[in-house]
């Protein structure tokens, strides 16, 4: 399985800012993001399930003020950090596109799949 480094593990604080990374979703240039929540890393395509806009209101700011949900800055949709499931807002019942991640030797990696691929230079 191909692994692409995103960041050092220490850059992800539990419930804090996420780290954005470039990717290709289908045939489109896009952005993914990784966060640490409940001491686990989770990554998603940075695209709201309601309307395909990026979620963060400032780069890397995905978690809303209570620290419990990922929140779309445009629509107010709230997503479960562990699953990407939308539990409130205009896309209730939908989910974010999960990206497989792993953490090893102090580094967080993401793993391409059939839809989410590395950016080809």
Q: Residue 85: give its domain's CATH number.
A: 2.102.10.10
How many folded domains does the chain comprise? Answer: 1
Q: Whole-model pTM above 0.75?
A: yes
Tokens of 77: 């949709």
User: Average pLDDT over the chain, rounded to whole?
Assistant: 94
Query: What per-residue confidence (pLDDT) applies to 52?
Result: 87
Burial class (CB in 10 A: 0-12, 13-18, 19+), 80: middle
In the prediction, which pLDDT does 121 show?
Answer: 65
Q: Which ranges of the chain have pLDDT less than 70?
A: 1, 121
Q: Could you list the residue range(s) of the whole structural domain that residue 18 is in? A: 4-117
What pLDDT is stored for residue 14 in this prediction? Answer: 93
């Amino acid at each position: 399985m191909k692994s692409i480094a995103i960041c050092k593990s220490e850059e992800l604080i539990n419930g804090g800012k996420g780290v954005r990374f470039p990717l290709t979703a289908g045939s489109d240039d896009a952005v993914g993001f990784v966060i640490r929540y409940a001491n686990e890393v989770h990554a998603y395509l940075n695209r709201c399930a309601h309307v395909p806009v990026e979620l963060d209101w400032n780069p890397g700011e995905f978690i809303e003020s209570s620290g419990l949900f990922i929140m779309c800055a445009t629509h107010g949709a709230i997503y479960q950090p562990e699953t990407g499931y939308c539990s409130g807002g205009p896309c209730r019942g939908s989910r974010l596109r999960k990206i497989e991640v792993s953490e090893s030797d102090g580094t967080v990696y993401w793993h391409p799949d059939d839809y989410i691929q590395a950016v080809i230079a």
